[in-house]
Every structure is written in structure tokens, then in C-alpha cells.
Copies of this chain bind each other. A is one copy, B any other.
Amino acid sequence: MIFIDQLKFDANGLIPAIIQEQKSGRVLMMAWMNRASLERTLATGKTHFWSRSRQKFWMKGETSGHTQSVKDIAFDCDGDTLLIQVEQIGAACHEGYQSCFFRSIQDGGASVKSTEPRLLQPEQIYGKK
């Protein structure tokens, strides 16, 4: 695993992974990987992350079915960020949008606008809570 040894994981053993939909170029989300979740991503071809809040592994889509098939893994000049091209099934965002970045600012930050339609309601993805 030559390339993994070129990466710089942070003090918590994590590296940020930017997830981009290869077909559209849309940036879908950013999440964190540790070495083991990256290895699992490589081994399975599906994105796996490390949840800092829950302190556990998760495969994207393990509950929702909205998995990501890995098409390309790039890393930056400093070796401290990953850029992963994927084919996304369903909605990347747990709030039901294609991308987690569904809001942009306007008026210099004085207000916020939604920039894409909601594809699904969260309860359609995860069931009613």
C-alpha cells in the first residue's frame, strides 16, 4: 500500500475525504476516514468512513441504501486530503438532497438560499422516528 504511506493522517488518525459525483462533477459531501476505513473502501469499492461523533465505522448507505461506488481516489500535494470520485445511488445527503451542500449564501452572507430540490424526505430514507 504505497500510497497510504504517503498520506498524512491527523493527530486523531483521520484524513478528510471529499466525495464528488464523477458523472456530474457535483461535490456531494465531505467525511472523515481513518486508515482502516480507507483500506475497507479500497477492498470493497464502496466508501467507508469513520464517524467522529459516534466513534465507529460506517459504510455510506448502510441504512439508506444510498451507497457510493468508488471510481477514482486522488490525494493532494500535501497528502492530507482525499478526493474520491463516486457513482452515487440515491441522495448523498441524509436530509434527502443530492448533495450535502444544498445551501448557498447570498447578499454577502446576510441570507441563505436553497440551490437544489429535495429529492426525498428523511423519513422516506430512514423511516419515521
List the interface of chain A (C-beta within 8 A of B): 1-4, 6, 16, 18, 20, 24-27, 29-30, 42, 72-78, 81, 83, 93-95, 97, 100-105, 108-112, 115
Bound CA–CA A83/B102 (angstroms)? 10
- Report whether A1 and B110 are in contact in the complex, using a CB–CB cutoff of 8 Å: yes
- Report whether B74 and A4 are in contact in the complex, using a CB–CB cutoff of 8 Å: no
Beyond A20-B27, A72-B104, 6 extra complex contacts between A and B, CB < 8 Å: A3-B105, A3-B110, A25-B25, A74-B102, A74-B104, A77-B93
- Report whether A109 and B1 are in contact in the complex, using a CB–CB cutoff of 8 Å: yes
- Report whether B73 and A102 are in contact in the complex, using a CB–CB cutoff of 8 Å: no
| Nearest chain B residue, comparing its CB with the CB of A97 | B77
- Report whether B111 and A2 are in contact in the complex, using a CB–CB cutoff of 8 Å: yes
- Ordered by A's residue number, 8 sampled pairs between the chains whose C-beta atoms are within 8 Å are A1-B109, A3-B112, A16-B30, A18-B30, A74-B105, A74-B115, A77-B94, A81-B101
Bound CA–CA A25/B24 (angstroms)? 9
Q: Which residues of B contact A26 (CB under 8 A)?
A: 25
Bound CA–CA A26/B27 (angstroms)? 10
- Report whether A100 and B76 are in contact in the complex, using a CB–CB cutoff of 8 Å: yes
